[in-house]
């Protein structure tokens, strides 16, 4: 069956798509928390362990992406291994994570712009969870959503070019911080550990969610003009590159700020940059790198999310409207518009509500990882002859480790755990998301059955 998509993305586009997705805004806002919670060595250990865990999960995706290079990624893998119902849960879960990131970035943008250009916002609209929502603040996020939605609407290539340029800028800014730390940093600040094993574990728990984004690569497999084997290799390379970037940022912040300064800093990465170079302009430059991170992760998840919607609609699981491909631009424009609308209205909810959505959405991503890892094992057994251009060694062992890790990270969200989802706000979002899934699946299933019955009746009459 001929693909409806154009093969316009090259190897470089795909690599920067995934790296840009993983290097969002977290490296700017969370680095101080990592170092003050676990210390320099504790943070490094957490990122090395966490990086290995993500690479193990990534290996299952890499093999399956090379074997089944179809739009939809994990959703398609699970559908090939199991029933459509389980595939639906997989696709809907990953979409949950993508939507949470897209909506969060629409709120992060005005938050960061406030740092670069301090501005007294006008037009108080309402207060949500103790937070005032202003019209001018909402406007920044909503305009950002219009720009990014438009960029993706007119073809994946313009979005890919922007992704590459912005990702190079993020890496350049990050390397400038490391360069400054190497020459002007105080190495006596590199305290090995803080808060013992508990501190390292606290950082480790954040890591899988910093690396959400490598799984965007399988979503656009049909649009890549490169051998399938190479796509699998790029996926793993993107994770390794992102792990190295985060390790360097930990070094830069730890050497750039004293432990005391870390505890009082609101934006440690920017403050470390100012401290190392002695000028506030460098702090603004670093925050602009953070703005670029917001845009690259936002852009990547619009690309990935719209392809999941397309694949699910194409399989009759959600309304067919989402399967529309623009005849000229060859993009799933209805899915892109839908995600754009969500991002456009997201700032209206204010910052606290968006934190609830992000926390809740993380559970969907990890559930998606788990189902792909199980599918990886199942397909190894049920379809041993499936051509796997990127064939990983000790596949069964890797698959089992990926399953165990995914279950472990899923447990982190459960009641009683230190970082469990809060009740009622976050758990109600999870329940609502999966109730929508149930309604969609049942109504689409009955509609599909009805259509098949009509078609059968017509054939009988003829």
* 437 lies in some domain: no
The token pair at 85 is: 């119902």
Backbone φ, ψ for residue 127 (5° rounding):
-120, 130
The DSSP secondary-structure symbol of 125 reads: E
pLDDT of residue 249: 94
Mean pLDDT by 10 residues, the chain (462 residues): 68 89 84 88 91 90 89 89 90 89 83 78 83 86 89 81 91 94 87 79 78 85 81 90 94 90 84 91 90 88 90 88 84 90 86 75 87 94 90 91 88 76 84 89 65 48 54
Convert the pLDDT of each residue in 244-290 to its tens digit: 999 999 999 999 988 888 888 878 899 999 999 988 889 889 989 98
* 362 lies in some domain: yes
The DSSP secondary-structure symbol of 170 reads: H
Range of the structural domain that residue 43 is part of = 11-426
The token pair at 313 is: 């609609």
Q: CA-CA distance, 269 to 251, in Å (whole number)?
A: 11
Backbone φ, ψ for residue 382 (5° rounding):
-80, -25
**What CATH number should be reported for the domain holding residue 299?**
1.20.1740.10
**3-state SS assignment for residue 325:** coil
* 454 lies in some domain: no
* 191 lies in some domain: yes
* 5 lies in some domain: no
* Long-range CB contacts for residues 414-420, cutoff 8 Å, separation at least 24: 418/202, 418/205, 419/205
Please count the other Cβ atoms lying within 10 Å of the Cβ belonging to residue 328.
8
Contacts of 109 (CB under 8 A, 6+ apart): 140, 141, 144, 291, 294, 295
Per DSSP (E only), the strands in 96-245 are: 124-128, 131-134
Q: CA-CA distance, 242 to 51, in Å (whole number)?
A: 9
Contacts of 372 (CB under 8 A, 6+ apart): 57, 60, 61, 64, 74, 77, 78, 90
* 250 lies in some domain: yes
Number of independent structural domains in the chain? 1
Distances (CA, A) of 101 to 49, 141, 296, 342, 461: 24, 13, 11, 11, 51
* 138 lies in some domain: yes
Adjacent-strand bridge partners of 131: 128
* 445 lies in some domain: no
pTM to 2 decimal places? 0.85
């Amino acid at each position: 069956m001929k693909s409806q998509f154009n093969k316009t993305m090259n190897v470089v586009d795909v690599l920067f798509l995934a790296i840009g997705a993983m290097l969002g805004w977290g490296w700017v806002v969370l680095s101080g928390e990592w170092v003050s919670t676990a210390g320099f060595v504790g943070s490094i250990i957490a990122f090395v362990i966490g990086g290995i865990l993500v690479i193990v999960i990534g290996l299952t995706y890499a093999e399956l992406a090379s074997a089944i290079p179809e739009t939809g990624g994990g959703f398609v893998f699970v559908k090939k291994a199991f029933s459509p119902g389980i595939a639906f849960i997989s696709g809907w879960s990953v979409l949950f994570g993508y939507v949470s990131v897209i909506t969060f970035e629409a709120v992060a943008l005005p938050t960061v712009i406030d740092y670069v250009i301090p501005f007294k916002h006008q037009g108080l609209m309402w207060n949500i969870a103790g937070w005032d929502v202003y019209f001018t603040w909402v406007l920044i996020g909503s305009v950002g959503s219009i720009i990014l939605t438009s960029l993706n609407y007119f073809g994946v290539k313009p979005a890919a070019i922007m992704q590459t340029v912005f990702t190079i800028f993020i890496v350049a800014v990050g390397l400038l911080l490391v360069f400054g730390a190497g020459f002007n940093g105080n190495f006596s600040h590199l305290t090995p550990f803080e808060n013992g094993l508990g501190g390292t574990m606290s950082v480790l728990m954040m890591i899988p969610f910093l690396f959400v984004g490598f799984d965007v690569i399988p979503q656009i497999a049909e649009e890549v003009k490169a051998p399938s084997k190479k796509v699998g290799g790029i996926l793993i390379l993107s994770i390794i590159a992102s792990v190295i970037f985060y390790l360097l940022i930990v070094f830069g912040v730890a050497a750039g700020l004293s432990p005391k300064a870390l505890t009082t800093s609101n934006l440690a990465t920017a403050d470390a940059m100012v401290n190392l170079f002695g000028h506030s302009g460098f702090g603004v430059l670093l925050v602009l790198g953070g703005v670029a991170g917001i845009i690259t992760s936002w852009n990547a998840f619009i690309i990935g999310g719209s392809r999941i919607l397309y694949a699910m609609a194409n399989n009759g699981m959600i309304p067919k409207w989402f399967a529309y491909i623009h005849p000229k631009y060859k993009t799933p424009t209805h899915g892109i518009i839908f995600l754009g609308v969500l991002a456009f209205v997201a700032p209206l909810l204010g910052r606290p509500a968006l934190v609830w959505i992000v926390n809740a959405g993380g559970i969907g991503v990890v559930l998606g990882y788990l189902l792909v890892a199980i599918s990886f094992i199942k397909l190894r057994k049920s379809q041993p002859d499936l051509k796997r251009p990127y064939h990983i060694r000790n596949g069964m062992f890797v698959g089992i480790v990926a399953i165990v890790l995914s279950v472990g990270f899923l447990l982190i969200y459960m009641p009683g755990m230190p970082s469990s989802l809060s009740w009622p706000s976050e758990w109600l979002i999870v329940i609502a998301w999966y109730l929508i899934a149930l309604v969609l699946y049942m109504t689409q299933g009955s509609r599909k059955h009805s259509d098949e019955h009509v078609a059968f009746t017509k054939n009988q009459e003829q």
